[in-house]
Amino acid sequence: MSTHVPEGITNPPIDDLLSKVDSKYRLVLFAAKRARQINAYYSQLGEGLLENVGPLVETTVQEKPLTIALREISADVLECNEIDPEAEAAARAEAEADPDFGVDPFAPDDLA
């Protein structure tokens, strides 16, 4: 008889994870976003596109992206920083004021 119990969400413990962020809602959003990035990374491996960063902790073959994300948060290899909406809006406005904003650098030049 096997005594192996799947760890799932019990490891890392939720209390340890909650000490890394300021609320359980932020933990859910943070872990879900990172899990989507990990999932996209695995999807892109076959295509040779490496736009996302792969897992930052050791993984097993059947480990789910959300479990990997929670273990990354627990291991302190990721941190959740709050973004100042006013500073972000100012940076976006500055970028949009640049005359080259939105110009495709790979678009062919009109020679006509």
pLDDT at 112: 47
- Nearest Cα residue to 34 out of 79, 87, 94: 79
Q: One digit per residue, pLDDT tens: the chain, 112 residues?
A: 555 555 655 678 888 998 988 899 999 999 999 999 999 999 888 787 778 888 999 998 889 999 999 999 999 998 888 888 898 899 888 888 888 877 777 777 665 4
Phi, then psi, of 90 in degrees rounded to 5:
-65, -40
pLDDT at 106: 78
CB atoms under 10 Å from CB of 62, counted, come to 7
Sorted by where each starts, the structural domains of the chain and their CATH numbers stand as 8-97 (3.90.940)
